[in-house]
Amino acid sequence: MTKRCDLGRRNHEIIRLRTEKTMTLDEIGKIYGISRERVRQITLGSGVNVVKMRKAYLQEKILACPVHYTFAQIEEETGAGSALIYETQKSAGITKEVVRKARFYLNVPKKNGDECQEWGGYLHPKSGYGRYAVIKPNLQYAHRFSWYYEHGDIPEGMCVLHRCDNPPCVNIDHLFLGTMADNTLDRDRKGRQARGERMGNSILTREQVMSARRLKKENPDLSFPEIVDLLGVDAAPRTVSQAISGITWKHLAQIT
Ligand SMILES: [Zn+2]
């Protein structure tokens, strides 16, 4: 009787080792002093669906990994293949977007009272703004992601502005939505009445030209189509590029 019980326990253990697949048939055989064929027979004869159990076991391990882990990290942690990882994450609702959001917050320091939370990832060397992934032309800066994750889509042509005037800050309480005009209003309050605008047939307003020049100066790697998008104007990139370089709107002082 005892022997049967021990055998049962041994077989159970063998099945466990097989389903978790930490060991090969040979390795298990060596431990219990039986052939690899016998190990196979035991697992087959048990009626246990080894493949299914192993899958369930791996799925559980995959879901126990933090959401921000990369595929490679999960593969290493669980020993699962990337197809199973993908399938498991997908069925659990862990989409690329969910992972991206989780990874975003890894770069955001803990909230400390009303202090700025400066982006811990890449900072644009000139503007000092934090950069994250490039999802679309108007969604690549960390402070804009911060707004997006908290409040949803940023209305077209709107800017995410800093109350604290600290470009790397992504503290949601320090950010607010404004137009390009709001962005430059306080800085350009004393500006002259524009001539270009008064000519009547101009596509851009003085404010927009100033904003475009400021944007390009602070973010030299922005393309002209991106600037058009950020400004929310109905103009060709060429129009904006000429206004920025001073081919048009010559009378407006260049941003220094
Ligand atoms: Zn701040």
Q: What is the CATH number of the domain that holds 23?
A: 1.10.10
Cα(158) to centroid(ligand 1), Å: 19
Cα(104) to centroid(ligand 1), Å: 17
Q: Is residue 28's pLDDT more than 60?
A: yes
Query: What does pLDDT average to over the chain?
Result: 83
Cα(136) to centroid(ligand 1), Å: 24
**Number of domains forming the structure of the chain:** 3
Tell me whether residue 205 is in a domain. yes
Cα(30) to centroid(ligand 1), Å: 63
Cα(81) to centroid(ligand 1), Å: 42
Tell me whether residue 183 is in a domain. no
- Report the chain's terminal Cα–Cα distance, integer Å: 92
- Are the C-beta atoms of residues 204 and 194 closer than 8 Å to each other? no
* Average pLDDT over every residue of 161-183: 89
| 97-146 confidence digits (pLDDT tens) | 899 999 999 999 999 999 999 999 999 888 889 999 777 777 889 999 99
Residue 234: both structure tokens together: 């109905």
The string over 113-151, giving b where at least 16 C-beta atoms fall within 10 Å of a residue's C-beta and e elsewhere, is eeebbbbebebbeebebbbbeeeeebebbbbbbbbbbee
| 194-249 confidence digits (pLDDT tens) | 344 444 446 777 878 888 888 888 888 788 877 887 777 777 788 888 888 888 88
Cα(219) to centroid(ligand 1), Å: 19
Domain end position, chosen among 94, 113, 128: 94
Cα(190) to centroid(ligand 1), Å: 26
